[in-house]
Structure 1
Amino acid sequence: MATEIPPDLSEVVTSGTTGQISSFCPQSWRSLHQNVIERRKLITMLASRVPGSFHFRTQTTPNDTKTRLYFLGMTSKGRENTLLYVDLPSTTPEVASVLPQWPLLESFSASLPTSQLSREEQLMRERKRMGTYGITSYELIEWQGKFVFPASNSLYTCVDVDITTTDPVYPVNIGTRVEGARLDPKVCPTNTQLLAFINQSDIWVTNLENGEECRLTFTKKGSGNLEEEPLSAGVPSFVVQEEFDRYTSYWWSPAPLQGHDPDISDQSDSSYCLLYEEVDEGDVEILNIFSPSVEGRNVDQYRYPRAGTPNAKSVLKLVKFSLGPSGKFGQVQHYQLYEPLLTFFPWMEYMVRAGWTPDAKHVYAELLDREQKHLSVVLIPVDFFVPVQNFGDEDMNVDSVRKTVPSLSVIYEENSDIWVNTHDILHFLPHSVPTEVKFLWASEKSGFRHLYRVKSKLESCDKQLCAMDLLEEGQDGHCKANVIQEEMLTSGDWEVNGKQIWVDEEREIVYFIGLKDNVLETHLYAVSYTRPSEPVRLTALGYSHSVSFNSDCLSFVSVYSSVSETTSCAVYRILHDNGPIRTRTWGIIMPPIACPDYHAPELFCYQSDSGFVHHGLFFHPHGEEGGKKYPTVLMVYGGPQVQQVTNSFKGIRFLRHHALASNGYAVVVIDGRGSCGRGLKFESHIKDRLGTVEIEDQIEGLQFLSSAGFCVDMDRVGIHGWSYGGYLSLLGIAQRPDVFKVGIAGAPVVNWQLYDTGYTERYLNVPSRNEAGYRQGSVLSHVDKFPDEENRILIIHGLIDENVHFHHTSALITALVKACKPYRLQIYPNERHGIRNHEASEHYKTMILSFLQNHL
């Protein structure tokens, strides 16, 4: 089922986009700007209503059982995310219908311009690549119907008491006495009146019942001086957030602590515990960035570890506190590891994941070495944490506190000659033997990421053996995982997505997202983890799916789309009776939108000389006439960890592509070797040689299109990309000026020695071990090859970019001036790595159209 585009908007977006305007009839800046506005309205309308962050809630009444599905989305007249819901039918219908959506909150606005967000919130949005506004996350306590969410620089709570009615819910502001943003809020699973949050890099907890607050950690003294205050609690380092996709550093205990030590074990209902990471950035370089947007000063400071320089150090700690009968906070006790993890794992550089086991008897940590070729999953008994008698006294003698402690265990190891890609798949399974542990895990040891069921023995680590140097050839005495049994649940030349799995322990089934049927489409699959067989696909071919499950794994939501069909959303029931597992549609939340003015790109593929099949997207110029060649723009990313070419509707992310096509350009996107989703062999093509091989894959794709009859004009090809794509845009115009007439580089990396450790060293090693790779992969090594003609290079950069900081562009400009090479530069003073401001985004897209119109 498809709905038509609203008539009022249809009249706007179908005007003024006639096709090959840029080729034959140059437009004014205002005309180009208007075109950008029109195209943005169209794509925004098609993409902005997409729901997300789903939670099911079922409520039983004397007469019926009701299920309500909550999610984040926009109302028909809204421009920001809010909480919405649909009520699902009591029985699964034979023919599913579109369900009416209702706003949950009464008269609530969460709108705040980016400039009014705190610095911490702005940086969090950058790390998460967040483009939406309003309510962007929430936590639901399902059995109570209680919500907690951040919005408008505040925290709010509300309760949806009765899901049999459609009465609106009124949110209540959670008051506070702290100054500044309260981030990363989390409700205590054993007492939903307790809410923890981060404020100025320390952990606080508030009692929602009486408004009492308690500061749990004291790493910051309030000076705001990075040099004087290098510690933080509950906040991951920049590299862990940016390169390992972990955005939190504290975790509530899921149950009362179950250790043997009476000091730490507590069965009472009034004692609570959090695990947290304390980060020490004292050795990390401080980066100064000119920041005209920072009030009262012109320079902002960040801790930023360049390749080859020291990283932040991490330690795990516990904090335990009590709650009195009156709801007031009692004694706060801190615990630290009896022995530092570095004692056992001297090779440890990054703590990429951490958390609790479901029974709260252990915490786990995933430790990665600096080369990112070795990872250990470590299980730490809660008794391994000992109380800090005088918190903050660095001279305290831990040995005086405890003489005998249980040791930690390594339960799994990953080793790779290429690199270990981190993921979020670790699920502990029920087990009855106290000396063993069972869990589900994902590994790329076969060359593709697949699922495994693992049973390991809990064996004590010997710190003397662990202290032996892992990097020294021939040493093999370090703590090893004693894996008793390991069974592969999936296999083949395809990948399991590493973001999430869903486990039905009652039926012993694991659900996962994978690329089994089509490398361009993500689908939901099910496989038994006790009797593995061929995985069963549960979603329809021809689309890419993103799913969310309910708590018993009997229902799920799929948000799906294709290149030719805009995003849809539906709810499904999983049926286990009468034969193989199957699904039935429960209800439709959002049908696709039929829009005559939307021009879908075309998927293409070809057999590369590399031996792989390469995939691409081709956006035909609007108004294309048969037999004509059109100016062509190669929109490039070309780096690792990204798969641009998929059978899905890209929405706002590809707005530039649609704007170019509507102005008469052919637009090309190609995933060459080095991109993800195709296994380690395909991805590792760029190992130790970034920037030396990617451009040839892109050119091969252009040549294929030209020879295959696509309307590519090989005499008028421009290359444009952002971040890694900006880097390749510069290399493209330097390495192959005969192919690329112009290059537009957005926020480009120009020298890998200026970029961060976690990303750069994964692919290039440390600079001292790969001097040739760093030198050959640097744009600065190719400056003499840049063209001498004017208007062939345009560089774009946000001045307060804290990821690919402006030092990159500054170094490039210095080299271009020294070599007397022409260039053009566009700066956005108040933008970071992504251009978030609406006006700046429109200016940027208009400028691209103008530059290409005049010079391509």
Structure 2
Amino acid sequence: MPPREIEPTPNASWASLINHAKITRNEIRTALQQNFCKTAIVMTNDGCKIFSLGSTLNQTNQTLLSVDIPIHILSPQNKSTTHTQNSYAEIAELKLQPVFKQDPFRVTAPSAEFSLMCERQRSNVVNGLTEYHIQDGNMLLLAGDQVYKYCSNSNDLTTIPIGKCTSTQTIQMEVETIHGCSNQTPPPTTSNMRQSEPSSSSNYVSDAKICPINSNLIAYVLNKQVFIEHNGELLFSTKSSGEHISNGVPPYICMEELERFEGIWWSKSTQRLLYEQVDETVVEEVTFVINGSKPPAPMKYPRAGTGNATSTLRMIIINDKNQVVDVGLKVDLKTIYPSFEYITRAGFFADGKTVWVQLMNRSQRECVLVLIPETDFNIPNEVLLYQDKAAFSPIYSSTKYVSNNDCDYGTWVSPAGVILQNSTIVHKVTSDHWVNVNNAIVPLSFDNVQNPIYRFTYCIEQPFGSQLNLISAKIDRTGSIENHVQPLMEADHSICKSIQVKVDEKRKLVYYVANESHPTEWNVCVSSYASQTINSKRLTEKGLSFRYERSNSNLAVDFDIGFVCWITSCKKPHACRFYAFRYNKNHNGVCLPDATYVAEISIPGSPDPRALVPREQPEIHAYSSPITGVTHYAMVLKPDNFNANKKYPVLHYVYGGPGIQIVHNDFLTWVPFIKYTRLGYIVVMIDNRGSANRGEDFEKQISMTLGSVELTDQIEGITILNELIGNCMDMDRVIVHEIYKGAIAGGAVTDWKFYDTAYTERYMGYPVHDPLYYQSSILRLVDRLPNEPNRLMIIHGLLDENVHFSHCSQLIDFCNHRGKAYDLLIFPHERHGIRNAESAAYMDARMMFFMQKSLNEPEPSEW
């Protein structure tokens, strides 16, 4: 066979590259644009609506959008459960429209806190509405420092006068009764609200929720304090007893590394609010500043091995006279669980008074699920009796309560059965490596209050997957616990840990997202917990993938109607679909629904997504590794006008994990790389050991050795992949790591001792063991970097609060001292991700210019 022709490395001018970067970035943005997000299904008096946040064409501010679901598509009795491209014309097209004819929201410049929250959620900083919360047809709409209440049945919109009170000033005590404010001016309605001039505000509402049993009660978090309001009247607000103590907001580490963005939780059956109180006194402070400019306020950032924030739980109780008590725990969480370091998830149990909380130790090798009865909070006896007189809670043995004034309120006897009397660990998971957090925890109601069994949906890691289970805990009179674990899905599949599990208790069904069709695809699935055998079903089509966002964990499902989700594949741009339910019992008598794709949701005037597919097409390859003995997945993008008889230069894109899977049957995965294929590069992506969603055995290989097996798998993988696609990659012209021709490092960790606690210690261990950390540091390998120029490019945002610029400066110092050449690209006003469009296009051009310089550079001759 004659030798292959070598396709020349691109050698474009700087002017043409910057133009190419701008053109392809515009094309990528158009192909990937998602004009609306955070969809929800809401039943109204008039039928059923889909709500979303988004902006219509030619508008920049985000607002509330909605569309009615036609009655005729809600019962797809005569439709197939699978729709292909050929049946696309049968699908109804639902067009979202703005709810408000004239946007009533005041435009404010995004606050610093909001911008940082967007960084934690990996979302764009937007103007207008940023979030909404729905409860029984009522909505709270958040817009910067503004909160609005909207009723979908009456179309009434009112503004909430946040943080304002016209009468008494409240002072928080450990136990106190606080009367609501009076003489509050009624909130304006839509008719008397006007569009005001754009302004800026340092205020930021980070969360807002409606009380499930009283829509007149709302809670929100303003500037890291919890506020309770009733019909626009401020009832209560928390106060901090110290400069570094906050209420209702998770600490940085929980948002960034544990993906928990909420710190307040309403009870579903009582007027109680649970909230997190955080003390960051011992957490180190860091400042991100442009040299010569005024320094901003410092940020709390816990480096590996240093002090974390400490958290506790408090409870607010409101009676029917709007009297409020705010109480803390009688016992420290460390008393309940001595190894406690992180609150990963929390909420109220289904009885509305017992609190559940998932706690994790510092090394993250152990995780416990704890039940805390209300008696372990400092609730006055008279409050307990007042709340329980009509229907006493079945969670105590016979108890005689005495109030603070020694007045005997009588003896109240609980129903028969064994009852939770003390804070109790009902489930524990341990690992030799680490435990992954997830959003799969949902408490279930008691089947029998006379003999209560505490049940939760719960994710348990398996060797080859992350399995959804139903765990049950029965507590006897001595406090002993009998546990039972019932699998709800196969053990070799993984749930999507970022998406909330939804439970239909009427039909005993659990809805979740998992990779049941293929390891590179996400599917909406359903399972029954009514029997002891696994009865599950995939509801979305094989060959397509559910697309989710880190900033939105909600699975938009109505158990009686259907669900809304974004669906995509490598060859299909993401589209928002509505699937309608139809219920049929199988041979076991279990009622699992069929889901029929009946409608596509879009914004009027938006381009047809089928017309946005770039001419390139990716390939997903599976191969068995001789080193690992397991199947790996890789993605290949070939250049325009690909010729199988030629060899092409290669961009090997590496993330390497942990916690990430980059090879997905998803349009978003590959489209951003067309800027390289258009220049004549082959692009390669490989999931090595340590990548997510393949189970414990696949992930644990990187434990305590970050940067080891990842590189081994990437080198082996690209070699095998080259053979699979016909040896068309020029292995002498590959851009990525040290052993390659050239490398680009963007926002990279150079020494794990300087990264944050939860992420680093999860994979590298705690306490910090210097030799292990040293082995995983790139700084020890600087001597092995090439001596020649045009081989290493370093990119970093000066204001990066995730991977600090100190990582970059360390690498620069080491390179300088050892005479190693490098190209340096700094973005003074950018963080971990480049947000500014012009800056992003410039970065693309600089990277492509560096790549062609590196690959065209002749091998140096020895002096």
Q: Which interval holds the TM-score relative to the shorter structure?
A: 0.7 to 0.9
Instruction: Name the counterpart of 2:830.
Output: 831
Aligned with residue 218 of structure 1, among 239, 247, 250:
239
Q: Which residue of 2 aligns with 1:261?
A: none
Structure 1 residues 293, 342: CA separation in 2 closer, same or farther (over 3 Å shift)? Answer: farther
Judge conservation of contact 2:129–2:144 (CA < 8 Å) in 1.
no
Aligned residue for 1:318? 315
Partner of 2:658: 640
Matches within 5 A, 1:107-186: 107-108=102-103, 116-131=109-124, 133-134=126-127, 137-141=130-134, 143-144=136-137, 146-161=138-153, 173-176=159-162, 180-186=203-209
**Aligned position for 1:471:** none
Distance 1:383 1:622, change over 3 A: same
1:753-807 Cα distance to aligned partner (Å, 9 max, x none)? 1111101111110254x33321110011111111100121111111111111111
For the Cα contact (< 8 Å) 2:329–2:376, is it kept in 1?
Answer: yes
Shift of 1:407: 1.3
State the Cα deviation string for residues 101-146 of structure 1 (Å, max 9, x = none). Answer: 3222323387979xx42111111001111126245654354544x3
Q: Does 1:424 align with 2:439?
A: yes
Q: Which amino acid aligns with 1:27?
A: A
* Alpha-carbon spacing, 1:118–1:50, altered in 2? closer, same or farther (3 Å): closer
Among 458, 470, 491, the alignment partner of 1:441 is 458
One-letter amino acid of the structure 2 residue matched with residue 415 of structure 1 = T
In the alignment, does 2:72 pair up with 1:71? no
1:243 aligns with 2:257: yes
Alignment correspondent of 2:272? 273
Report the residue type matching 1:303 in the other structure.
Answer: K
Residue 603, structure 1, aligned to residue 617, structure 2: no
The CA deviation at 1:435 is 4.6
Q: Distance in 2 between matches of 1:449 and 1:583?
A: 24
Counterparts of residues 454-493 of structure 1 (less than 5 Å): 454-458=471-475, 482-493=481-492
Q: 1:567 maps to what in 2?
A: 574
> CA–CA distance in 2 between the matches of 1:578 and 1:51?
36
- The 3 A distance-change label for structure 1 pair 626 and 454 is closer
- Residue 656 of structure 1 contacts residue 845 of structure 1 at CA under 8 Å; is this kept in 2? no
Q: Using the alignment, how far apart are the partners of 1:357 and 1:529 within structure 2?
A: 18
Question: C-alpha distance in 2, partners of 1:132/1:229?
Answer: 28
What is the distance in 1 between the residues matched to 2:744 and 2:332?
48
Residue 83 of structure 1 and its aligned partner are, at CA, apart by 2.4
Is 2:522–2:547's contact at 8 Å kept on the other side of the alignment?
A: yes
Q: In structure 2, which of residues 336, 354, 362 is the aligned counterpart of residue 370 of structure 1?
A: 362
Pairwise CA distance, 1:339: 1.3
The 1:233/1:25 distance shift into structure 2, 3 A limit, reads closer
User: Higher mean Cα deviation, 44-53 or 790-799?
Assistant: 44-53
Report the equivalent of 2:646: 628
Aligned pairs (5 A) from 1:758-797: 758-768=758-768, 770-797=769-796
Percent identity between matched residues is: 32
Alpha-carbon distance between aligned partners in 1 of 2:213 and 2:506, rounded to the nearest angstrom: 23
Q: Is the 8 A contact 2:462 2:491 kept in 1?
A: no
1:618 is the counterpart of 2:603: no
Kindly provide the CA deviation profile for residues 594-648 of structure 1, in whole angstroms up to 9, marking residues without a partner as x.
Answer: 2464423221221112111111111111232332222211111001110110111
- What is aligned with 2:861? none
Q: Distance in 2 between matches of 1:683 and 1:288?
A: 34
Contact kept in structure 2, 1:509 and 1:527, CA below 8 Å? yes
- Cα deviation 1:285-315 (Å, max 9, x = unaligned): 1223324697xx2254121111111211111
Aligned to 1:444, the other structure's residue is in SS state strand
Judging changes above 3 Å, is the alpha-carbon distance between structure 1 residues 570 and 177 closer, same or farther for their aligned structure 2 residues? closer
In 1, the alpha carbon distance for the partners of 2:613 and 2:817 equals: 52
Query: In the alignment, residue 804 of structure 1 is paired with which amino acid?
Result: V
Q: In structure 2, what is the equivalent of residue 205 of structure 1?
A: 228
Residue in 2 aligned with 1:269? none
- Structure 2 distance, partners of 1:48, 1:21, is 37
- Displacement of 1:746 in angstroms is 0.6
Contact 1:686 1:693 in 2 (8 A): yes
Matches within 5 A, 1:558-597: 558-577=565-584, 581-590=593-602, 592-595=609-612, 597=614
Q: Tell whether the 8 Å contact from 2:690 to 2:700 is kept in structure 1 after alignment.
A: yes
Between the aligned partners of 1:199 and 1:132, the Cα distance in structure 2 is: 19
The answer to whether 1:57 aligns with 2:47 is no
| TM-score normalised to structure 1 length | 0.82
- Listed one character per residue, the Cα deviations across residues 547-583 of structure 1 (whole Å, up to 9, x for unaligned) are 8343435411232111111112221122113756422
Aligned to 1:30: 15
The alignment partner of 2:359 has SS state of: strand
Partners in 1 of 2:31 and 2:311 — Cα distance? 44
Q: Which residue of structure 2 lines up, in the alignment, with residue 729 of structure 1?
A: none
Cα offsets for 1:691-734 (capped at 9, x unmatched) = 12211211112212322315311111111xxxxxxxxxxxx32x
Which moves more between the two structures, 422-431 or 776-785?
422-431
Q: Is the 8 A contact 2:51 2:66 kept in 1?
A: yes
Q: For the residues of structure 2 that align with 1:658 and 1:219, how far apart are their CA atoms? A: 51
Judge which range, 563-572 or 595-604, deviates more. Answer: 595-604
Once structures 1 and 2 are overlaid, which stretch shifts more, 197-206 or 639-648? 197-206
Q: CA RMSD in A?
A: 3.0
Rounded Cα–Cα distance in structure 2 between residues aligned with 1:623 and 1:374: 53
User: 5+ residue gaps in structure 2?
Assistant: 80-89, 165-201, 382-401, 412-419, 549-554, 587-591, 603-607, 856-863
Asked if 1:87 is matched to 2:68, the reply is yes
Aligned residue number for residue 546 of structure 2: 545
Going from structure 1 to structure 2, the CA distance change for 1:59 and 1:280 (only over 3 Å counts) comes to closer
Alpha-carbon shift at residue 544 of structure 1 (Å): 0.5
Amino acid at match of 1:585: Y
Residues 562 and 316 of structure 1: is their aligned pair in 2 closer, same or farther, counting only changes over 3 Å? same
SS in 1 for 2:344: strand
1:712 aligns with 2:729: yes
The gaps in structure 1 that reach 5 residues or longer are 1-19, 163-168, 221-227, 257-271, 325-329, 390-398, 463-480, 720-731
Q: 1:247-296: per-residue Cα shift (whole Å, max 9, x none)?
A: 1111123222xxxxxxxxxxxxxxx43211111111111223324697xx
Is 1:360 the counterpart of 2:352 in the alignment? yes
Structure 1 position 409, deviation (Å): 1.4
Match of 1:42 in 2: 27
Counterparts of 1:459 and 1:402, CA distance in 2: 34
Give the Å deviation of 1:414.
0.7
Aligned partners of 1:627, 1:452: CA distance in 2, in Å? Answer: 51
1:781 counterpart letter in structure 2: R
**Matched AA of 1:614:** H
The 1-side partners of 2:140 and 2:519 are apart by 38
- Which amino acid letter does the alignment assign opposite residue 665 of structure 1? Y
Q: 1:682 aligns with which of 695, 698, 703?
A: 698
**How many residues of Structure 1 are paired with residues of Structure 2 in the alignment?**
746
Give distance in 1, aligned partners of 2:680 and 2:139.
Answer: 48
Write the distance in 1 (CA, Å) between the matches of 2:251 and 2:357: 16
CA distance in 2, matches of 1:25, 1:657: 16
2:684 aligned counterpart, secondary structure:
strand
| Higher mean C-alpha deviation, range 88-97 or range 274-283 | 88-97
Map of 1:649-798 to 2, 5 A cutoff?
A: 649-650=667-668, 654=670, 656-708=672-724, 709-719=726-736, 732-733=737-738, 736=739, 740-768=740-768, 770-798=769-797
Match among 83, 90, 93 for residue 98 of structure 1: 93
Q: State the secondary structure of the residue aligned to 2:71.
A: coil
Q: Secondary structure at the match of 1:813?
A: helix
**Is residue 463–residue 696 contact of structure 2 (8 Å, CA) maintained in 1?**
no
SS at match of 2:753: helix
Structure 1 CA distance, aligned partners of 2:612 and 2:126? 25
Residue equivalent to 2:846: 847
What code does the residue aligned with 1:237 have? Answer: P
- Does the Cα contact within 8 Å between 2:572 and 2:613 map onto a contact in 1? no
* Equivalent position SS for 2:425: strand
Q: Distance in 1 between matches of 2:7 and 2:207?
A: 47
**Alpha-carbon distance between aligned partners in 2 of 1:369 and 1:743, rounded to the nearest angstrom:** 37
The 1:400–1:521 alpha-carbon spacing in structure 2 relative to 1, beyond 3 Å, is same
Q: Secondary structure at the match of 1:796?
A: strand
